Structure 1
Amino acid sequence: MITGHFKTRYAADEGIWSTWPKKLSLVLCLLALFVLPFFANNYVLLLASQIAIFIIAVVGLNVLVGYTGLMSLGHGAFFAIGAYTAVAVHGVWPNAMPLITLAIATTVAAFFGVLFGLPSLRVKGLYLAVATLSANFIVLFLIKREWMAPWTGGVSGIETPNPMLFGIELATQRDKYFFIIPVMVIFVLFAQNLFRTRFGRALIAIRDKDYSAEIMGISLFSYKLKSFAISAAYCGAAGCLWAYFFPAILPEDFGLSMSITLVVCLVAGGMGRTLGPIFGTMLIILVPELLKVLATLITQGDANAQRYFSPLRDIVFGLMIIGFLIFEPMGLVSVWDRFWRVVGRWPFAK
C-alpha cells in the first residue's frame, strides 16, 4: 500500500513518475504502442495514428487554454498552416526529410500563432475566443484563393506526398504509424516537462491571476505571445503529420469544426493536465467509431435502417458528452486520479 510520498533527494522531488504504478503504466503504454502495429489491421492503425495526431494538437491547445488561461477557437487554422506548409516544402524540395519539414511547419505555425495572439494583450475570455475565431476564416479564405492554388490546390484541395525517411518511403499505414507515434511521445513529454520550468510556472501564474503575475515581474506581453507560439507550433506539427498521413487535404478539413473538436477533446479530458488531452482525444474519436460499429451490428448492414439510425447515433453521442460534462466537469483525468488514490489506499480504500 502506498501510504505517502517521502522525498529524500531533489532528483526524486523533480521526478514526473514518483510511484511504481505510474512508472509501470508508462512502460506498459509504450510497450503497447510498439506492439500494436504487428497485430492490428489498417483500420486500427488509421484510428491510432489519427488519435496520435490529434493528441499533439490538443496538448498544444492545453498549453494555451489549460495552463495559460487564454481561450482560442482558431487552432484549426494553425493545423491547416502546418499541413499546407509541409506540402509547399515538398513542392520546392521534393526529397525533403520529414523531420526537416516538420521543423519548418512548426516554425511557420508558431509565427502565425504570435500574429493571431496579439489580441490577447488587450482582451481575454469570450472576447479573445471570438478574436481568435477570425484566424480560421482568414486562413481558409487565403487557402482558397486562386493565386494560392499552386501551393494549396485552392478549393479542390491538393495531393500530399509520402515522407522519405533516410531514403525509405513511408507508404503503408504501419510505416507512417512508426513515424507519427515517436513524434507524439516526444511532444507530450516536452509539454509535461515545460511546466516544471520557470517559464511554465509563469504561464500558470498568468492563468491564476494575470495582474498579480505582472506585479511579480512576469511580462504578460512576452509570455502570452510565447504561449500562443508554442500552442500554434504544436498544431502546426500535427498538421504536418496530417498531410503525411492522408493522400490529400482539403480546406474543409480545417474548418471551424476542427477547432471546436480540439476544444471538446480538451474539455472532456481535463484542462491543465498533460493526460487530459490524451484521454479526451481517445474519447471523442473512439466513441463515434464504437457507435458506428454498434449501429452496424443492430441494423445487420441494412442501408435503409442505417440511414435512420445515423442521426440517432449522433444524438446519443451528443447526449453522452453533455452528461459527461455535467457529472464529470473536471474531465476524465479526475477519474484517473481517483483510481490511483484508491489503488494507493488499498486494501483500506472504500
Structure 2
Amino acid sequence: MADHIRPAGVFDTTYEQDIALNRTRTDKFLQYGGLIALLLIPLLTSRSFLGLDILPDYVVVTINTIAIFVIAAQGLNILIGYTGQISLGHAAFMAVGAYSGALLAKGFAIPIGESMLQIGPFSFWIALPLAALFTGLVGLLFGLPSLRVKGFYLAMATLAAQFIIPWIIEHPLQPYTNAPEILQGIPQPTIGPLVFARPIEMYYIIVPLSILLMLASRNIMRTRVGRAFISIRDNDLAAELLGINVFWYKLQSFFLSALYAGIAGALIAFERNAITTETFSLETSITLLAMLVIGGAGYPKAALFGVAFVRLLTDVIIPAIGPTFNSTLTALMPFVDGTNIGPSLQPIIFGVALVIFLIFEPRGLAYRWEVLRIAWKIRPFAN
C-alpha cells in the first residue's frame, strides 16, 4: 500500500541533491524543454532559412532586448539584491561597455608624443570580454564611496556616474565616440565564414549568453563571496565582526555589477550596429531599478521576471489599450485632447504598476513564483 502513496515534496539524502538546479525529472523536462523551445523560436519566423512565418519577426528582436536587459538587471541584482548597495548609474556603466566594445571592434589610435598607438581592431569574441573588464574597473572606481557612505548618500554618489560618464563620452572622447551623434559601422561578430549580422543571428549569441550569466550569478551566491555579499546586505556591522572584509567585498560587488552592465551595453552596440548616449540615460537606470523591484530584488529569477513584465507592459499591453484609452477619454471629456495624453500613457501606467507592486507585492514576482512553486511541490498538503 505504501508503494502507491505519492510523497509530498522532494526528499534529499545528500547535500549535492539539496542544492542541485534540477532536483526532479519534472525540473529537468521543463528546463531542457524550455531551452529547446528558445532555440527553435527564430526558426519559426519568416526570415529564417525555413521561411515558416509562424511567428512575427519582431518576436526575435523583443527576446533579444529582454535577454540583454536581463543581463543588465542581473548585474544590478548582485549589487542591490544580494549586497544591499544602491546604484542609480547602472545605465552609465552600460554606456561604458557599449562604447568600449564598439571602439575595440572598430579600432582606434591614441596619440603618444609625435606617434600614434594603434589599438585594435579586435574581433567580437575579444572585444566583448575586454569591454566587460574595463567596465568592471570603472565600476570599482565609483564603488569607492561605499567605504564611507551608504543608503541615500551612496545613491547620490552612484548617480554622479550617470552624469560624469556621458559627459566624458561626449566631450573629451568625442573624437573617438562621435557622441552625442550616432556611432555607426560597428563590425559584426563572426565565426569563420558565418556573420552574425541580423537580429535572428545575434539571437544565438545574446540568449545563450544571458542564460549562462544568470546561472553564473546564481552559482556565485553559493560561494564564499556570495555568502559574504548576503551577510553585508543583512548586517554589515555583524559581517565585519565576523571577520569579513566589508569594503573589499563591496568593491567586488560593484565590479561584478558593472561587468554585467558592460556586457549588456556591448551587446546592444553589436546587435544594433549603432549606439548613442541617449540610449543610456538616467531614465534607463531608473527603469532597470524598477524592473528589479517588480521582479523581486535578491531572488535569482528577479531580473527575468522584472524585465519580462516591464517589456510586456510597455511593448504589448500599453500599445493595445492606448487607442481605446484615447477615444474613451475624448468621449467622456470632450474638452480634453486625448491625442496629447496618449503619449504620456506609458509612464503613467508604468508608475502605477510600480506603486501597486511596492504596496501589495513588495517582494516581487520572483517571490510569488517561489511560493507557488513550493506549494505545487508539496501538494496536496499546501495551504
TM-score (norm 1): 0.93
Change (3 A) 1:293 1:154: closer
| Shift of residue 90, structure 1, vs aligned partner | 1.6
Q: Greater share of helix residues, 1 or 2?
A: 1
Question: Counterpart in 1 of 2:179?
Answer: 154
Equivalent position to 2:9, from 4, 10, 30: 4
Letter of the 2:92 counterpart: A
Are 1:2 and 1:344, in contact at CA under 8 Å, matched by a contact in 2?
no
Is 1:65 matched with 2:80?
A: yes
Asked if 1:34 corresponds to 2:43, the answer is no
1:169 Cα deviation from its structure 2 partner: 1.6
Return the offset for 1:176: 0.7
Question: In structure 2, how many angstroms separate the alpha carbons of the residues matched to 1:65 and 1:33?
Answer: 29
1:210 to 1:249, Cα distance in 2 relative to 1, 3 A? same
Q: Report the aligned-residue RMSD.
A: 2.1
1:255 maps to which residue? 281
Residues 71, 264 of structure 2: 8 Å contact kept: yes
Q: State the match for 2:104 in structure 1.
A: 89
Q: 1:314 to 1:77 in 2, by over 3 A?
A: closer
Deviation, structure 1 residue 44: 1.0
- Contact in 2 for aligned 1:42/1:173 (Cα 8 Å): no
Aligned match of 2:52: none
How many equivalent pairs are there? 347
Amino acid aligned to 2:360:
F
Q: Which amino acid aligns with 1:218?
A: I
* 2:22 aligned partner: 17
> Is residue 52 from structure 1 mapped to residue 77 from structure 2 by the alignment?
no
2:182 partner letter: G
- The alpha carbon displacement at 1:38 in A equals 1.3
Tell me which amino acid in the other structure corresponds to 1:48: I
After superposition, the Cα gap between the structure-2 partners of 1:135 and 1:308, relative to the gap in structure 1 and judged at 3 Å, is closer
Q: What is the CA distance between 1:315 and its match in structure 2?
A: 2.1
CA contact (8 A) 1:87 1:151 kept: no
Counterpart CA distance in 2 for 1:312 and 1:139 is: 31
Q: Contact 2:229–2:249 at 8 Å: present in 1 too?
A: yes
TM-score, scaled relative to structure 2:
0.85
2:373 to 340, 343, 346: 340
Which residue of 252, 275, 283 corresponds with 1:226? 252
Corresponding residue of 2:112 = none
Contact 2:318–2:345 (CA under 8 A) maintained in structure 1: no
Give 1:349 shift. Answer: 3.8
Matched, 1:310 2:335: no
Q: CA contact under 8 A between 1:97 and 1:166: conserved in structure 2?
A: no
CA offsets 1:184-218 (integer angstroms, 9 cap, x no match): 11111100100111111111111111111111111
Aligned residue number for residue 209 of structure 1: 235
Deviates more, 1:126-135 or 1:333-342: 333-342
Q: 2:362 maps to what in 1?
A: 329
Alignment of 1:279 with 2:305, yes or no, is: yes
Paired AA for residue 181 in structure 2: S
1:311/1:300 Cα in 2 relative to 1: closer, same or farther (>3 Å)? Answer: closer
Structure 2 unaligned regions, length at least 5:
1-5, 45-54, 108-118, 328-336
Letter in 2 for 1:331: G
Q: Residues 67 and 203 of structure 1 are in contact (CA less than 8 Å); yes or no, is this contact kept in structure 2?
A: yes
CA radius of gyration, larger in: 2
| 1:133 match | 159
Q: Does structure 1 retain, via aligned residues, the 8 Å contact 2:81–2:298?
A: yes
Deviations 1:275-304 (A, max 9, x none): 011100101112111134414664899xx9
